[in-house]
Amino acid sequence: MAFNSMKAQIEKKNDLIKKAESIINLAETEKRELTDAEAQELAEIRDDVKKIKDMLEMMGDLDDARACGGKMEKKEDAGADAEADAKADDAQRELAERRSFDAYIRGKVLETRDAVNMTEGANGAVIPVTIAKKIIAKVYDICPILEKSSKYSLKGDLEIPYYDESTTAITVAWAEEFVDLTSSVGSFTNITLKDYLAGALTLISRKLINNSEFDLVAFVIDRMALAIARFIEGACLNGGNPDSTSHVNQVKGLAGSVTQTVLAGSTSAITADKVIELKDSVKDVFQNDAMFIMSRNTRTALRLLKDDVGRYLLQDDITSPFGSTLLGKPVYVSDNMPDIASGVNAIYYGDMRGLATKFSEDVNIQVLREKYATQHAVGVVGWVSFDAKVENAQAISALVMSVS
């Protein structure tokens, strides 16, 4: 009887764990946060599982459990228990930090535990870790160039060695016995990524804050993620942060570090032949994950291009990541890309893993509750230190419009 009772309790515990996992997996699949009701249900499941575990430890003697295979079952269950408990704890912490953050913006005091307190400074407070991580994740979702780049996280300068065979390629030739081979070797060049500081600021109306039905946390995440993503994407494409003396961009991005180019042969028009030439300028090894990047007006111009048999080169494709394809490759439209004009890089094409991006530290985000009180607003500021430069010249090409 003791074994049957123990077995029933184990099955009940396993069912509770599966139920908790299904709640968490559903939220992850739908790419959303846990609702208050789901978080409460997870907390209740966690308490019930703990009670059952305590009961199992007190039931029967361990020899009966081992004789029936309970030892192995108990060992296997321990890992699942720990994982379920950890997920439930994370969900509870996230919910507590959301409430604490929401309360802070609204000027209320809700959460008092040290683990989720807002870290206050002279004029504001640092956003909790779970909120900041959601902003970073959303930045990657919004900005595919950054998401697909080769990302590095390191303080200080980062030297990336690049082997360049274009100077003197390694050659293989027929040979004869006792005759020396002629040596040849490529050269190593270094790509240096530094730390350049940038900030983003958004203001939230206090009138909006006073609307208790409005989801302030989601609003802050969306607004800050969009602002940071637009800025970083602009730097990845066009560079930025001009030196005060030389006025040359210190962050190079694609515009300042792409060396593989195709000349358009015109200051104001792009032909189908040049688009094909641009695509073929990238070696086949980088073609699998390659994409086109251009402005909205440039895409409109390319919609009118046809091949030799009258078929449009650019096609709408719902299976494509960005809704359209050009020569079989996805087309990403960015507001940060320049329109067709004299001397500009009108289109980039290639595998964005050839672009190196370095973040010296996690995005630091603070709420400034008092600074903008005279504007009847609350400020949210984000700081980021990063750099972007092409690390593999063969992976990305640019279509450059003629100067004259």
Predicted pLDDT at 267: 93
Q: How many helices (H) and strands (E) does the chain have?
A: 11, 18
CA distances from 27 to 21, 38, 85, 91, 173 (A): 10, 9, 17, 11, 60
CA dihedral 265, 266, 270, 275 (to 10 degrees): 20
Q: Is 264 helix (H, G, I), strand (E, B) or coil?
A: coil
CA nearest neighbour of 20 among 48, 43, 42, 47: 42
245-280 pLDDT, tens digit each: 887 889 999 999 999 999 999 999 999 999 999 999
191: which 2 tokens? 């790509």
First-to-last CA distance in the chain? 93
Predicted pLDDT at 123: 43
In whole angstroms, give the CA distance from residue 375 to residue 369. Answer: 11
Predicted pLDDT at 81: 61
217: which 2 tokens? 């946390």
Predicted pLDDT at 337: 94
Query: In degrees, to the nearest 5, what angle opens at C-alpha 392 toward C-alphas 389 and 186?
Result: 125
User: Count of residues for the chain?
Assistant: 404
Q: What is the mean pLDDT of each run of 10 residues along the chain (404 residues)?
A: 63 80 77 73 79 70 51 54 64 68 64 47 54 71 86 82 62 75 65 85 80 72 81 91 85 94 94 94 94 94 82 76 85 93 96 92 74 84 88 94 88
